[in-house]
Amino acid sequence: MRFWASALVVLPVFLQAPWVHFYPLSALLFTFVLLGLGISLVVFSDDQWGRLGSLLVGVSGSWLGGCLFWGWLRMHPVLHLPVEAVALPVAFVGLSTRWRIGSAFYLACLLGTAFTDFMMVLTGVMKKWPDIVAAPIDQAAQALNKTSLNLFNLPTLLLLFIAAILIVFLSDQMNQRGIVNSPAGAAWLVAGTALTTTLWVDGLFLITTIIQPKLSGLI
């Protein structure tokens, strides 16, 4: 479950982002494929596959929010977190049901998104967001390079380091709660893994765009 939770956090960066950039409607409709597959596994399979099905249901919530924002609203960064939170009420209800693993995954990913957006505000990157996403793919690198220069100073790096330490601490607390061999324990492990992977994805995004800035328009 921890492997799949990590994989399904990384997936949107390299699959959903370019897909929704070019074909937003088909990417949005894929939400229902994930949701249908997840529900089918929970209803018709054993406990092991049922847990994976619950996880896929949680992924479908994150996928839906990502498609809605990056497909049609990406020029408005202030809407990013609210749109990503489209399934928040359902996820809270699901924590007390057999869908708790998917709910925990979705909520942990949303928390990771909140961390990322908050740090983008503090570091001044959020102000440059519309310029980067509005630029043609072949010009996104130039817009990103102007923004990334603002990240390489001591106060900004210190803020990023503190945020990373806080994420690691929260993830560790979730993993400690997940030691108990129970459905609730599995949900905590999935949540901790998803939150930790969010940190690695953000780092991977930064490294990728520095090494190959042209990819920034697709990520």
Residue 133 has pLDDT above 90, yes or no: no
Compute the residue count for the chain: 219
Q: The whole model's pTM is what?
A: 0.91
pLDDT number for residue 202: 82
The pLDDT, as a whole number, for residue 210 is: 66
Gap between the Cα atoms of 92 and 158, Å rounded: 33
Angle of helix 2-11 relative to helix 47-68, nearest 10 degrees, comes to: 20
pLDDT reported for residue 197? 92
State pLDDT tens for residues 145-162. Answer: 666 556 678 888 899 899
Is 216's pLDDT higher than 70? no
- CB-count exposure of residue 18 (10 Å: 0-12, 13-18, 19+): middle
Give the amino acid at 132.
I
- Domain residues for the domain of 195 are 2-218
Number of domains forming the structure of the chain: 1
